[in-house]
Amino acid sequence: MAHERPAMAHERPVNETAHEDVPVQNPNRTSAAARALTVVARTMIRPAGELVPVTVASMPVASTVINSLAKLRPAPRGVEREQVRLNGFRMEIVRPAGARKALRDGAVLYMHGGGFFLCGLDTHRPVVAAIARRTGLPVVSVEYRQLPETDIAGSVADCLTAYKWLLAHGVPASKVVFAGDSAGGYMTFATALRARDAGLPVPAGLVGMCPALDLDCTEKRAHPNYRRDALIPLSTLESVIKLGAEVNGRLDPRLSPVNNVLAGLPPALLIVAEDEVLRRDSEIMAQRLAQAGVPATLEIWRGQVHAFMAIFPAMPESRAALAHVARFVRDRIEAGQVARTA
């Protein structure tokens, strides 16, 4: 398949303006839990991120601390878990308790967020369990290798291995939906693109929850949300990208999903917080998917922090957003079933 040259960050088409016409999902009220989470993010988490430099030495320390804290939480209820080990990384299959559906009946391949160097199965088990309960389907959570063990491209390779594992176990691509938050949203789109380019069938759908889709931070630094974001210091993201994606100080634009040829991708759902710095990534992706003829839905949520549904899945807005994710997943898998039996 011949691919046209991807657009560079400074070559944005003039009609790629902000999606100011997209209505917010919750215009009338922000929950007390969401307001409290924003305060904690703005006064504690973001300042800590700005204070501690991201280096090859600090990444493993931060990862160990976050994963250790995650293990202190009670295990999610209403699900059953099964561990799978592949070459160099783990996966966990999370099923609704008592569910009889096999993987071949439909599955979500979930790729966790964490800035390409943090988090894993333990931190994201609550949101994975929430998706499993809402969809009634098994969710395969991938603990892909991260910085500094491997670069961002190596993380994508692990996610592609996980997808190949599903296909090899008899799960039709038409019954698989990729989903992920933040850096996992990057994995969602990058893995689908790599699968397509490798001649593999693409999944039935893609869900990006506050996804990072443009590794070039130029537009994000110029966007008003650069200062509005309560959680993410852009300097941290820039440091991670330098360590995980740049070669000799140069960032290959093709590493950013927004800069790839998008034709042939399945329908996508993009969910972002109104004031987060990564909102621009989803706006650009929604625009370019539409230009490529790929159905895409962009949802904007008011009063939320980046990756709110993964950080606090029990929050009212998170429950509502995850209900939208579940409906999208079921619709895509049902559409695949109809296509296979037609």
For the chain, the helix, strand and coil percentages under 3-state DSSP, each to the nearest 5:
45, 15, 40
Catalytic annotation on 223?
Answer: no
Choosing from 182, 256, 282, 318, the catalytic residue is 182
d(CA 322, CA 315): 10
* Residue of 92, 143, 276, 317 marked active site: 276
Give yes or no for a contact between 211 and 117, defined as CB atoms under 8 angstroms apart.
no
- Asked if 276 is an active-site residue, the reply is yes
Q: DSSP state, 197?
A: H
| Dist. CA 312–CA 336, nearest whole Å | 31
Structure-token pair, residue 182 = 């933040």
For residues 55 and 50, give the distance between their C-alpha atoms in angstroms, rounded to a whole number: 13
DSSP 236-273: HHHHHHHHHT-BTTB--GGGSGGGS--TTPPPEEEEEE
Measure the CA–CA gap between 79 and 71, rounded to whole angstroms: 17
With contact defined as beta carbons under 8 Å apart, do 33 and 315 qualify? yes
Q: Which of 92, 306, 317, 318 is catalytic?
A: 306
For residue 122, how far is the Cα from the chain centroid?
16
- Tell me, yes or no, if 112 is annotated catalytic: no
Pairwise CA distance, residues 78 & 86, whole Å: 26
Look up tokens 């939208």; give the residue: 324
Rounded Cα distance, 262 and 289, in Å: 6
Residue type, 165: W
Residues known to be catalytic: 182, 276, 306
